[in-house]
Amino acid sequence: MTKHFLGLADAMPAEISRLVALARRLKSGAVAEGGVIRGRIFGMVFFNPSLRTRASAEAAMLRFGGHAIVLSPGGDTWRLEYRRGAVMDGDCAEHVREAAAVLGRYCDALGVRTFARMVNEAEDAADVVLHSFAREAGVPVVSLESAMEHPCQGLADRMTMEEKLGMTQGKRFTLTWAPHVKGLPRAVPHSAILAAASAGMYVTIAHPPGYELHPKYLDKAKAWCAAAGTSFTVTDEQLPACRAADVVYVKSWGSPAHYGKPEAQKEDFRRYRGWMVGLEHLAHPKTILMHCLPVRRNVVIADAALDDLRSVVIDEAENRLWTHAAVLCELWR
């Protein structure tokens, strides 16, 4: 059966640990371990735009002698049909069965980027685009962020924590919601809490009422924390949750209650602007500040915090490259 990398929730904590360990070895110069990438082609299909993910994955291939083919069909130029049995006399000119199978003949693995539509929660949870590609491609498929998870980001997050904290076991991870001008998908926070839970950390999530993450990921993170002997907490008191943390991980996301209601989301932006993270959230000299980027300065995080030496966001972004390489090595070995 073809192996895929579709989400951290499908993995075991030990697998995540192994991937991060490999990424760290690749970063420290273990060129031979990356040898399996040489001459291979990674085809990336971006249904939603990307600069960081695309550049880091392409660089990962090139650094180890491989190649990337970047396809950016855009929203309108290449609409795919995903339903079985559809009579395709509408907007979609191709079915995913052919599209994925054909690209799988040209490439050694496919990466797929697709955002949550944030109109219907069940539709997003099904993550149809990603799973259709995985079913039809005939080669390994890697999620480059789907509706529900951003697992390569999660790996980079965990790698960064290991680099900065040394031992992660028993350290305190706080994910805090932050304000934003619009409601964003929950893929990044889902993967982030799984990354932290898999690393043996105490996990706390701070968000305003109504901003719950999806139960599937909450339950999975809770189970991993329980297995590791740590706690898993959700709170709406941001400041103490951050001031107690070794890692303050900042991210904005939209409320599931506001799906399809951008106006309600905007109102919340005004109501919760005070959730912006600043220096006052970083209580300890060794606390680190994380964010997946891009970040809106002085809206999500204040300049003073982002420019503080405890901010590790650039290293975190760099680690996207090394974890992409590790995932592909693992799938191709």
Site of interaction with its own copies (CB under 8 A): 41, 43, 49, 51-52, 54-56, 58-59, 62-63, 67, 69, 71, 73, 77-78, 81, 84-90, 92-95, 98-99, 101-103, 105-107, 181, 293-299, 303, 313-314, 317-318, 321
Shortest Å, Cβ 34 to its own copies: 13
| DSSP 8-state symbol, 79 | P
DSSP-assigned letters across all residues of 219-262: HHHHHHHHHHT--EEEES-HHHHHHT-SEEEEE----GGGTT-H
Contact call for residues 179 and 266 (beta carbons, < 8 A): no
Beta bridge partners of 62: none
CB closer to its own copies, 78 vs 330: 78
Q: Report the half-sphere exposure of 207 (CA within 13 A, side-chain side).
A: 23
CB closer to its own copies, 54 vs 158: 54
Report how far residue 261's alpha carbon sits from residue 21's, in angstroms, rounded to the nearest whole number: 42
CB closer to its own copies, 46 vs 202: 46
Report how far residue 164's alpha carbon sits from residue 176's, in angstroms, rounded to the nearest whole number: 19
CB closer to its own copies, 65 vs 240: 65
Report how far residue 273's alpha carbon sits from residue 256's, in angstroms, rounded to the nearest whole number: 19
Shortest Å, Cβ 20 to its own copies: 18
CB closer to its own copies, 99 vs 134: 99
Shortest Å, Cβ 19 to its own copies: 20
Shortest Å, Cβ 313 to its own copies: 7
Contact call for residues 8 and 151 (beta carbons, < 8 A): yes
CB closer to its own copies, 4 vs 291: 291
CB closer to its own copies, 69 vs 279: 69
Shortest Å, Cβ 185 to its own copies: 14
Separation of CA 255 from chain center: 18
The first and second tokens of residue 116, run together, are 């949550």
Query: Torsion angle, CA of 230/174/263/51, rounded to 10 degrees?
Result: -110
Report how far residue 149's alpha carbon sits from residue 185's, in angstroms, rounded to the nearest whole number: 9
Shortest Å, Cβ 147 to its own copies: 20
Shortest Å, Cβ 56 to its own copies: 6
